[in-house]
Amino acid sequence: MTTRPNIVVIMADQLAPQFTSTYGHPIVQTPHLDALAARGMRFDAAYTNSPLCAPARFSFMAGQLATRIGAYDNAAEFPASIPTFAHYLRQVGYRTCLTGKMHFVGPDQLHGFEDRLTTDVYPSDHAWTPNWDESNERIDKWYHNMDSVKEAGTAATTFQLDYDEEVAFTAKRRIFDYAKHHDTPFAMVVSFIHPHDPYVARPEFWDRYDGAEIDLPVSPMAEDPHSQRLFTAIEAADVEVTDEQVARARRAYYANTTYVDAKIGEIAQTLDEAELLDDTIIVFTADHGDMLGERGLWYKMSTLDHSMRVPMVMAGPGIVHGTSPEPCSLIDLLPTMLDWSAPGAWPTLGADLDGRSLAAAAGGAAPDPDATALGEYCGEGSAHPIFMIRRGRWKYVQCDIDPPMLFDMAADPGELDNLAADPAHAETEAAFATEVAARWDSAVIRADVLASQRMRRAVHAGMSVGRRVDWDYQPRRDASEEYVRNHMDWTVAAATTRFPPVDGATARS
326 close to 373: Cβ distance less than 8 angstroms = no
Tell me which of 32, 53, 126, 306 is the catalytic residue: 53
Cα separation, 198 vs 154, in Å, equals 10
Residues 197, 148 contacting (CB under 8 angstroms)? yes
Is position 53 annotated as part of the catalytic site? Answer: yes
Q: What is the Cβ-side half-sphere exposure of residue 186, based on CA atoms within 13 angstroms?
A: 26
Cα 74 from Cα 127, distance rounded (Å) = 9
Radius of gyration of the chain measured on its C-alpha atoms: 23
Instruction: Name the DSSP letter for residue 309.
Output: B
- Tell me which of 32, 97, 103, 194 is the catalytic residue: 103
The residues, any chain, with a CB within 8 Å of residue 134's CB and separated by 6 or more, are none
Distances (CA, A) of 323 to 312, 364, 365, 436, 497: 10, 9, 11, 29, 40
- C-beta separation of 310 from 17 below 8 A: yes
- Helix crossing, 31-38 with 243-273: angle to 10°? 50
SS3 218: coil
The DSSP-derived string for 320-369 is: -SEEE-S-EEGGGHHHHHHHHHSTT-PPPPSS--S----HHHHTTPPPPT
C-alpha torsion sign, points 49, 50, 52, 55: negative
Contact at 8 Å (CB) between 372 and 435?
no
What own/partner pairs with CB < 8 Å and gap ≥ 24 does 461-464 have?
Answer: 463/125, 463/126
- The DSSP string of 53-73 is HHHHHHHHHHTS-HHHHT--S
Asked whether 308 and 302 are in contact (CB, 8 A), the reply is yes
Annotation says 97 is catalytic: no
Report the catalytic residues.
53, 103
